[in-house]
Amino acid sequence: MKQVSRRSQVFIIFISVFVMKINYTKIKYKQIYESNFLSAYVRRTTRVTYS
């Protein structure tokens, strides 16, 4: 019983670290994507409205 609970604890820690890593990379890529996409989008819309 003790060994199983310890293994499940390690498993839970591993999963939480894995999820945190996924979320971190997702947020990083999302920020990069949004900054590039929004700057290009704003540039295009302003060019269209002012031309």
Q: Has residue 49 got a pLDDT over 70?
A: no
Q: What is the pLDDT of residue 50?
A: 59
Question: What is the pTM for the complete model shown?
Answer: 0.48
Domain assignment of residue 42, given as a range? 26-50
- Comparing C-alpha atoms, which of 30, 26, 31, 34 is closest to residue 42? 34
Q: Is residue 17 part of a domain?
A: no
DSSP letters, the chain, are: -HHHHHHHHHHHHHHHHHHHHHHHHHHHHHHHHHHHHHHHHHHHHHHHHH-
H helix count then E strand count, the chain:
1, 0
More confident of the two residues 51 and 46: 46
Q: Is residue 38 part of a domain?
A: yes
Q: Is residue 43 part of a domain?
A: yes
Structure tokens at 24: 């971190």
More confident of the two residues 2 and 51: 2
Distance of alpha carbon 34 from the chain centroid: 12
Condensed to tens digits (0 to 9), the pLDDT of residues 13-42 reads: 999 999 999 999 998 888 888 888 888 877
